[in-house]
Amino acid sequence: MTETPRSLRFAALTLALAAACVQAAPPSGKANEAATARHLASLVTGSEPRSAELTMFFSRMPKGGDLHHHYSGAIYAEQYLSWLDKQNYCVDKGSYKIVTDPKVNADQRALQPAQRTCLGTDDVMNDDATYRELLQRWSSKDFDNHGAIQPPPDRQFFSTFGYFNDLAATNTNTGLLTLKQRAIEENVSYIETIFELAPFAIDQAFDKAVLQPGLSDAALAELLRGWRAALQANATFNKGVAAYSASASAAHAGVDDARFILRFQGYVLRFFTPSMVFAQMVSGLQASASNPLIVGLNIVGQESNHIAMRDYALHMKMFQFLKKEFPNAKLALHAGELALGDVPPEGLRSHIDQALHVAGAQRIGHGLDLAHESNAYGIMKTMRERDVPVEINLTSNSFISGVRGQDHPLTLYRRYGVPYVISTDDAGVTRHTLAQEYTLFASRYKPSYAEVKKVSYNAVRYAFLPEADKTRLKRQLDERFAAFEAGIAALMRTARAN
């Protein structure tokens, strides 16, 4: 009897899985779930998990959503590059920065390609050396391959946004539709993306006053009330908020359907002046209160930045003040995205604590410095009791901060019963997918299938969505998991038969 070649057997298994996945699972799917659990356990057992099979497993596994997701950092550099000509922009050949002046672009196009110093889409793509250099600057491509003289990884990461930000503000509907299609292809049901910078105004007198040494909380509250009143009376500011909300609605056109939902978080940049930061908080919360597509507010930017560190406690008190005015506000705050050595040790002691206990965050983004926080046990107790999840971003934390494996506080959050979700952060910059985040999670920490499945459902449970939308997503997730598990069970039966 001639033995079937291994490649043909593998193809047969793959086809069997694909066929089974499109069939509805029987109402009692416990056996299929148990078979799937055994299969995952077999993939993570041993000192070297089977990464390729885990990637295949998690690419197909339903994932409830991605709750820590930056729109501009999720678009791949290749797509930004494709928008250059559409916007009549070009890329400076020396700096790789975008030039937005249409006259410069027109003048450059009149030259022969070899003479151009500001390049269009085709100019870049037709020169492989230039193309690769652009990708290395606009993302982390080739960083781990040591393909270039490299800056420190945190500088590399945060500097990429300066290259493509001018393009990120354009073609947003096209970009969102791309992210939607990519999500559907890897079985992601929901994205909550940090979308656009909230509008702001500036008051230099306020900035000087709130930065006075020894300012009391009462005096700060009085200053915040005054600046808030001034913003309410500022017609230009309020027109900006209305335009911001309208821009989000326009970008969202055609994104939601029966299979997929996308919502926005506004964001505040933490290294602006205090008056600008507070104004952004106000505008983001106003927009969220009036537009159901904007479901929350975040604060972003490199946390180790001098101004971000200096004003951190002030920012948390600003959120605390505004939560009284906007009691239904949803906050998912970047907090504790710091590693030992980023800042002096005292800078690691309280950022998660303040985001949780002062600002009242409903989700914590990153929470990386937990082990160094003075109130680490109290933080985890509060998060567990208040049901406040932490958003885990394994690729980002590894690349930017060098924190991975047993050094990662996910080990603590899991041990002490803190809810968590797995998310991507900036998948276009660090060039990965949500499926790869799950693969890293399973490879490093060897969770049970029950835990993995719970994490997937957590992305629906902790979404800033109305209960009706959560119920629909959960019902769909039930159906998708039933089909997925039926497919895995069929694969296992076919494997045994061969």
pLDDT-derived band at 106, boundaries 50, 70, 90? confident
pLDDT-derived band at 158, boundaries 50, 70, 90? confident
What pLDDT does residue 164 have? Answer: 79
User: Could you read off the pLDDT of 38-87 as tens digits, one per residue?
Assistant: 999 999 998 889 999 999 999 999 999 999 999 999 999 999 999 999 99
What pLDDT does residue 146 have? Answer: 54
User: Could you read off the pLDDT of 226-277 as tens digits, one per residue?
Assistant: 999 999 999 999 999 999 999 999 999 999 999 999 999 999 999 999 999 9
CB of 227 closer than 8 Å to CB of 206: yes
pLDDT-derived band at 425, boundaries 50, 70, 90? very high
Q: What is the pLDDT averaged over residues 106-122?
A: 90
What pLDDT does residue 11 have? Answer: 45
- Mean pLDDT, all residues of the chain: 91
pTM of the model: 0.89
Question: Is the pLDDT confidence value at 157 over 80?
Answer: no
Question: Is the pLDDT confidence value at 145 over 70?
Answer: no
pLDDT-derived band at 319, boundaries 50, 70, 90? very high
User: Could you read off the pLDDT of 442-451 as tens digits, one per residue?
Assistant: 999 999 999 9
Question: Is the pLDDT confidence value at 26 over 80?
Answer: no
Distance, CA of 90 to CA of 66 (rounded, Å): 33
Q: What is the pLDDT averaged over residues 280-300?
A: 98
What pLDDT does residue 10 have? Answer: 42
Q: Which residue ranges does the chain devote to CATH 3.20.20.140?
A: 172-476
What pLDDT does residue 148 have? Answer: 57
User: Could you read off the pLDDT of 377-412 as tens digits, one per residue?
Assistant: 999 999 999 999 999 999 999 989 999 999 999 999
Domain 172-476 has CATH 3.40.50.720: no
What pLDDT does residue 232 have? Answer: 96
Question: Is the pLDDT confidence value at 113 over 90?
Answer: no
Q: Which of 124-128, 187-191, 208-212, 226-230 shows the lowest mean pLDDT across its residues? A: 124-128
Q: Which of 97-101, 162-166, 427-431 shows the lowest mean pLDDT across its residues? A: 162-166
User: Could you read off the pLDDT of 118-129 as tens digits, one per residue?
Assistant: 999 999 999 999
Distance of alpha carbon 142 from the chain centroid: 21
pLDDT-derived band at 345, boundaries 50, 70, 90? very high
pLDDT-derived band at 28, boundaries 50, 70, 90? low
pLDDT-derived band at 151, boundaries 50, 70, 90? confident
Q: What is the pLDDT averaged over residues 167-181?
A: 94
